[in-house]
Structure 1
């Protein structure tokens, strides 16, 4: 991983030295950067802005892209031509999202905390290989009408051994990675992810040092579980440097075939273990760089090509912790 990080750092210096375009996404209303905005190319491919709203784009890297589709949660989408790409792109706030903002005070009532444990697995063959083009959402039903607040989300991770021959040994050295993820929470809209529960940017960086479970504290976001249940989603943004800064890597490989070049999404580590221990189908996927793309339930017959489905591994087993408040 150190060699990879060194190589990427050199690549970044080369990008700056050669005058590659650096563009910033900014909020029209606040003049603040729009962190981790989605930059779609209109062909199912794309990249992300970093925490300061910057992204790198040049015709040398993406010669066949003539338009960029810029979007972010809570903002209006915008289309920009790549010819004479401006240094700044301004996004307007989506007016209907302002009506969704609810200011809550701290719930000063007694509560008990419950945890739904994640489903862990270290079998490489039972794992999803994350790509930045896919967002995975998992549904959590609300079992009763008690007031509940989500305090943390538990994401299962499968670590890989450096030496494949030693992969079954618990003390084997693990393959290094430093990967940035974005997390979103959605209301349940008739069985699929709907409106956002919060418009806050929630991201975290995972490394092999986190072990086989990453615990994300979300208690500050006042996420009250809706009556109809909710979805929590995970989306990989890319690799980072040692300080957690998102690296501007090209997010797909081009493979030449007899009929032309084919773009293959780059797989990122860590692996995400799927499980067959959940009886219903709670996992949904969506391609994020396709405009107006719909969520698809992860199950056979839905047009999804995946070896996981052939072995009845239908769900990514995210866990959560939440407070259940006592009646007043």
Structure 2
């Protein structure tokens, strides 16, 4: 009887995978920090990143599909009963701007040398995007990202990528059921094929300077959104701190906004970008009230380009 019970337990354990590895369909290499959103009847219920070795621990929550994505790969949707020990993503052809070799002087642009207004925590799954205008009027090499942190306790793993700008008209429902609208813009298609992962470390201080030269990125002549996605917080033992206390979450420095160039997605299951300041500005205009001081802010961020 005991042998039978053990056998049935093993059958139950292996009937549904407890973990899965996300791999490149061509070279069979692990895809680190791929994004997996679990859905039930089309609505997100949970979301996680794979580990640096491409391993994902499947949740116990109720879901019927898993949607997997990573920069440079085609998205994949898998039914729960089809999830196996290994899942493969197919590399996607992305036409990138031609790399420019330049010996010109490095130039810092963006909004880096601004007075601090307040700080903003950046939890796991948070994505923030700042649109950077290109003063050169032509494609130029993008060499580094500079970011001011307000505080950092844990090593914070982040993903960096570039996106095109999408102009659109945001509609909303006014009192009485009437529809209003305003012009806005948000990140669109990714301009980056590489999975650029880096670490913000406490020992490096609050001035975070991320070297991007080896990735041979290009800032388009029309500018681009620089996106930073928070993958997770890790302690000194390299253990993932899944739910750090609010006071221990890494925070960025923000300053008074000079335009509406700041967009956010606030969680891994949040599928939509919001132009933060444009949205808030519209709300206060609609209510006819004066916004509190430092309501409209932008991350203190700049990029180094070769002009």
What is the TM-score when the length of structure 1 is the normalising length? 0.69
Distance in 1 between residues matched to 2:97 and 2:301, nearest whole Å: 26
Q: Which residue number in structure 1 is paired with residue 275 of structure 2?
A: 297
Distance in 1 between residues matched to 2:80 and 2:47, nearest whole Å: 13
Q: Which residue number in structure 1 is paired with residue 157 of structure 2?
A: 180
Q: Which residue number in structure 2 is paired with residue 48 of structure 1?
A: 49
Q: Which residue number in structure 2 is paired with residue 279 of structure 1?
A: 258
Q: 1:111 aligns with which of 83, 104, 110?
A: 104
Confirm or deny that 1:57 pairs with 2:52. no
**Gaps (5+ residues) in structure 1?**
1-17, 161-175, 254-265
Q: Which residue number in structure 1 is paired with residue 134 of structure 2?
A: 142
Structural mapping, 1:6-45, within 5 Å:
21-42=18-39, 43=44, 45=46
Give the conservation status (yes or no) of the 8 Å contact 2:151–2:251: yes
* Residues 49 and 235 of structure 1, relative CA distance in 2, 3 Å threshold: same
RMSD: 3.2
* Residues 115 and 102 of structure 1, relative CA distance in 2, 3 Å threshold: closer
The CA deviation at 1:135 is 0.9
Q: Which residue number in structure 1 is paired with residue 299 of structure 2?
A: 316
Q: 1:151 aligns with which of 137, 143, 148?
A: 143
Distance in 2 between residues matched to 1:154 and 1:243, nearest whole Å: 27
Following superposition, which runs of at least 4 residues in structure 1 exceed 6 angstroms of deviation? Answer: 120-123
Please list the CA deviations of residues 169-226 of structure 1 after superposition, one character each: whole Å capped at 9, or x if unmatched.
xxxxxxx312211111112344432222221111111222121111100011222221
The CA deviation at 1:89 is 1.0
* Residues 38 and 99 of structure 1, relative CA distance in 2, 3 Å threshold: closer
The CA deviation at 1:240 is 2.4
Distance in 2 between residues matched to 1:252 and 1:318, nearest whole Å: 25
Give the conservation status (yes or no) of the 8 Å contact 1:179–1:269: no
Confirm or deny that 1:238 pairs with 2:232. yes
Give the conservation status (yes or no) of the 8 Å contact 2:103–2:306: no
The CA deviation at 1:290 is 4.1
Distance in 1 between residues matched to 2:23 and 2:65, nearest whole Å: 18
SS of 2:226's equivalent in the other structure is strand
* Residues 91 and 195 of structure 1, relative CA distance in 2, 3 Å threshold: same
Aligned residue-pair number: 262
Give the conservation status (yes or no) of the 8 Å contact 2:233–2:242: no
**Gaps (5+ residues) in structure 2?**
1-12, 168-184, 285-290
Q: Which residue number in structure 2 is paired with residue 269 of structure 1?
A: 249
Greater radius of gyration (CA): 2
Give the conservation status (yes or no) of the 8 Å contact 2:151–2:250: yes
Distance in 2 between residues matched to 1:102 and 1:140, nearest whole Å: 17
Greater fraction of residues in strand: 2
Q: Which residue number in structure 2 is paired with residue 11 of structure 1?
A: none
Give the conservation status (yes or no) of the 8 Å contact 1:184–1:233: yes
Q: Which residue number in structure 2 is paired with residue 3 of structure 1?
A: none
